[in-house]
Amino acid sequence: MKVRQISIFMENRAGRLSEVMQLVGDSGVNIRALSLADTSDFGILRLIVNDVDKALGALRKAGHTVSVTDVVAVEVPDRPGGLAGILVPLSADGVNVEYMYAFVEKATDKAVVIFRFEDADAALKTLKTVGISVLSAETVASL
Amino acid sequence: MMNQASTVNYWDSAHECMPVAELRELQLERLQKTVKTLWNKVPYYRQKMKALGVTPSDIRSLQDVQKLPFTTKEDLRLSYPYQAFAVPMEKVVRIHASSGTTGKSTVVGYTRRDMDNWSDLVARFLVAGGLTSQDIVHIAFGYGLFTGGFGLHYGAEKVGASVIPVSSGRSERQIQIMQDFGSTALVCTPSYAIYLAEIMQNMGVKASDLKLRLGFFGGEFWSHLMRKEIQEHLKIVATDNYGLSEVMGPGVSGECIQQEGMHIFEDHFLVELIDPSTGAPADPQKGGELVITTLTKEAIPVVRYRTRDLCAFLPNPCPCGRTFVRMSKISGRSDDMLIIRGVNVFPSQIEEVLLGIKGIMPHYQLVVSRDGALDNLEVHVEVSEGFFFDEMKKQQEFARAIEHKLENVVGVRARIKLVEPKTIERSEGKAKRVVDLRKLT
């Protein structure tokens, strides 16, 4: 139950983010979640969208450097300690998190956390064992 | 007007002021000997001669040098390390190497007689630029495989000056030593001289606190403007000298106190100017690529070495009385070599490093600028999908890996800037590889 995430290489200069957003918007793709990691020179923009292939097509056509990474979307109870309840068993099983970012679902009392694991399959196994639900790509796209 | 000739000092007036007709005779005799040696002792050059159907007996006049094949840096690289040597190793007393890709630098050797000639030629330009045995010479060139440090060192010792082998780096200490030791002559690259002047200012040391009176600068191109700046800030007479390790090192040519072009020591080097694209002779006054044939080198004689340095020959004899032809300051390169902080850098070396990281070649551009007096190299690398990592850590490691490898292989520290695809300027589909923002002319 992995979700495809788009990463975009971006130079750290004024207006660049809005240009990319414009491009994705113009292609009729809706962004479900995003995160931006940056340095003084460049940044990596990560997007979860409702139509990965359409977004990829538009970005590549415009000459952007993109890549697709499998991430895992986990529903986290929106209460104190919610995230810790997920991280603790993962850590106990020695599963490393490369990076993560969260967004709050509109119509529920849950938050969604996007995880990039070093080993997604190992992570999925642990999550399944401890009974934590993982969202499918379709579910994420329709959030 | 003061009679300049009466104040001129020579190291070796018998040769430096030799009547031109005699000089040409001496050159021809030495050229024939050099060609014979190469033919007999250096297989790669003999092969090159055979390919053109030339034998040593075809060299009957100085013009006949044009019949001989060129020697390129690549020829010398392929001869790595000792194949270009014309003498057995027991005759070699010194080895130097030019900066270059590891394992591909050009290695040069010197016999005892070569060393003697080399220090003599360095002594010539030092004396021509005003040095005497009274001087205290501060050498801030690096000592090592680079020919600058040792070349100037032995020449200055030969003149009888007191030589301080400070070597490069630790600028504040350099100034302290100049102050405490009473250095009267400074030897380094021209950009380092400017840098030292800036450091002096920061330290509150004035030119009048030092005893410096002369500067001998080489190892990189510099403009008349830079000379003016150096002379004003350090209150010295600054002269230019030229050389390259492939033919010897510093001491191929040097300015006299007239500061009007560098006298080429023609009794040891036969020079031509060619059109770099065709190899045909160029109008000496319009200028072209300098081609040098060594006339006395024993360990590694080279014939028609293509220096890739562009210059012109100056007409009319120099008021100093030396009969040797003078070359202008180097105006540029016929290839794309850059000199960064005195280190020769070829875009091809950088390509090799970039290609080596992931086996594919990213688009790149070298941006050279001058920050104060020091050169700065930035390598812009376009991040295409082959070089894109979703993880920041890996992306940064990629940049660090290039930086690290560049420093190891090319010998200069460069800053890697990762840029978006298609952002590096392309002209006619070809990427523009080098942007040099330094104002050197």
What's chain B's average pLDDT?
A: 91
Could you say which residues from 9 to 38 on chain A have a Cβ atom under 8 Å away from some Cβ of chain B?
9-11, 37
* pLDDT tens digits, one per residue of B353-393: 888 887 777 888 999 998 877 889 999 999 988 889 989 99
Which chain A residue shows the shortest CA-CA distance from B390?
A: A7
Instruction: Give how far Cα B192 sits from Cα of A21, B142, B239, B291, B392, Å.
Output: 48, 12, 14, 28, 37
Cβ separation of B391 and A116 shorter than 8 Å? yes
Question: In sequence order, what DSSP letters do the residues of B254-320 get, joined into one string?
Answer: EE-TT-SSEEE-TTTEEEEEE-TTT--B--TTT-EEEEEEESS-SSS--SSEEEEEEE-EEPS--TT
Nearest CB among A39, A46, A65 relative to B385 is that of: A65
A 10 A CB-CB count for B402 gives 23
Cβ separation of B419 and A63 shorter than 8 Å? no
On the question of pLDDT at B3 being above 70, the answer is: no
Alpha-carbon span A49 to B394, nearest angstrom? 24
List the beta strands (DSSP E) in B147-219. Answer: 162-164, 185-188, 214-217
* pLDDT tens digits, one per residue of B164-190: 999 988 999 999 999 999 999 999 998
- What is the pLDDT averaged over residues B296-313? 96
CB distance B363 to B424 below 8 Å: yes
* pLDDT tens digits, one per residue of A35-88: 999 888 899 999 999 999 999 999 999 989 999 999 999 988 878 888 899 999
- In angstroms, how far apart are the furthest CA atoms of chain A? 46
Cβ separation of B388 and A67 shorter than 8 Å? yes
Q: Which of A128-132, B36-40, B249-253, B264-268 has the lowest mean pLDDT?
A: A128-132
Nearest CB among B387, B391, B417 relative to A41 is that of: B417
**ipTM for the predicted complex:** 0.85
Q: What is the pLDDT of residue B10?
A: 96
H-assigned helices in B20-111:
20-41, 43-52, 73-78
Q: What is the pLDDT of residue B191?
A: 83
Which chain A residue shows the shortest CA-CA distance from B389?
A: A67
Contacts of A65 in chain B (CB under 8 A): 383-385, 387-388, 420-421
* pLDDT tens digits, one per residue of B27-51: 999 999 999 999 999 999 999 999 9
Least Cα distance to A99 among A12, A35, A11 occurs for A35
- In chain B, pLDDT over 90 holds for what percent of residues? 71
Element (H, E) at B424: none
Domain with CATH 3.30.70.260 in chain A: 71-141
The tally of CA atoms less than 13 A away on the side-chain side of residue B108 is: 25
- What is the pLDDT averaged over residues A113-124? 93
Tokens found for residue B169: 């780096």
Chain A closest CA to B387's CA: distance in Å?
9
- Asked whether the bond before B81 is cis by omega within 30 degrees of 0, the reply is yes
Q: Does A67 touch chain B (CB under 8 A)?
A: yes
Cβ separation of B390 and A39 shorter than 8 Å? no
Q: Does A39 touch chain B (CB under 8 A)?
A: yes
Confidence category of residue B251, pLDDT binned at 50, 70, 90: very high
- What is the pLDDT averaged over residues A4-21? 92
Question: In sequence order, what DSSP letters do the residues of B328-376 get, joined into one string?
Answer: PPP-EESS--EEETTEEE-HHHHHHHHHHHHSSPPPEEEEEEEETTEEE
| Domain annotation for chain B: domains and CATH numbers | 4-334 (3.40.50.12780), 339-436 (3.30.300.30)
Element (H, E) at B406: helix B392-409
Domain with CATH 3.30.2130.10 in chain A: 3-69
Chain A closest CA to B345's CA: distance in Å?
25
Contacts of A69 in chain B (CB under 8 A): 390
Strand B305-311 vs strand B92-97: parallel, antiparallel, or unpaired? unpaired
Q: Which homologous superfamily does the CATH classification assign to the domain defined by A3-69?
A: VC0802-like (3.30.2130.10)
Contacts of B80 (CB under 8 A, 6+ apart): B103, B104, B105, B106, B107
On the question of pLDDT at B2 being above 60, the answer is: no
Cβ separation of B420 and A9 shorter than 8 Å? yes
Tokens found for residue B300: 């590694």
Alpha-carbon span B52 to B68, nearest angstrom? 8
Alpha-carbon span B355 to B105, nearest angstrom? 19
Cβ separation of B392 and A44 shorter than 8 Å? yes
Partners of residue A101 on adjacent β-strands: A114
Alpha-carbon span B129 to B120, nearest angstrom? 14
Contacts of A116 in chain B (CB under 8 A): 390-391
Q: Does A70 touch chain B (CB under 8 A)?
A: no
Chain B closest CA to A74's CA: distance in Å?
20
- What is the pLDDT averaged over residues B202-223? 93
DSSP state of B133: T
Contacts of B381 in chain A (CB under 8 A): none
Confidence category of residue A113, pLDDT binned at 50, 70, 90: very high
Helix and strand numbers (H, E) in chain B are 12, 23
Only one residue has tokens 């024993």, namely B298
Task: Determine the residue among B382, B390, B400, B419 to mutate to test chain A binding: the one whose Cβ has the most chain A Cβ atoms within 10 Å.
Answer: B390
Q: Which of A32-46, A119-133, B102-116, B300-314 has the lowest mean pLDDT?
A: B102-116
Chain B closest CA to A42's CA: distance in Å?
7
Please report, in angstroms and rounded to a whole number, the separation of the first and last CA atoms in chain A: 16
Type of residue numbered B385: E
Q: Which homologous superfamily does the CATH classification assign to the domain defined by A71-141?
A: ACT domain (3.30.70.260)
- What is the pLDDT averaged over residues B319-324? 95
On the question of pLDDT at B111 being above 70, the answer is: yes
Contacts of B159 (CB under 8 A, 6+ apart): B11, B123, B126, B127, B131, B132, B133, B135
Question: In sequence order, what DSSP letters do the residues of chain A get, joined into one string?
Answer: --EEEEEEEEE--TTHHHHHHHHHHHTTPPEEEEEEEE-SSEEEEEEEES-HHHHHHHHHHTT--EEEEEEEEEEEESSTTTTHHHHHHHHHTTPPEEEEEEEE-SSSSEEEEEEEESSHHHHHHHHHHTT--EE-HHHHHT-
Least Cα distance to B216 among B147, B134, B144, B127 occurs for B127
Q: What is the pLDDT of residue B4?
A: 43
Cβ separation of B421 and A65 shorter than 8 Å? yes
Partners of residue B375 on adjacent β-strands: B370
Phi-psi region of B209 (alpha: psi -120 to 50; beta: other; left: phi over 0): alpha
Chain A closest CA to B424's CA: distance in Å?
13
Nearest CB among B387, B395, B421 relative to A44 is that of: B395
Tokens found for residue B114: 């070569």
* pLDDT tens digits, one per residue of B147-166: 999 999 999 999 999 999 99
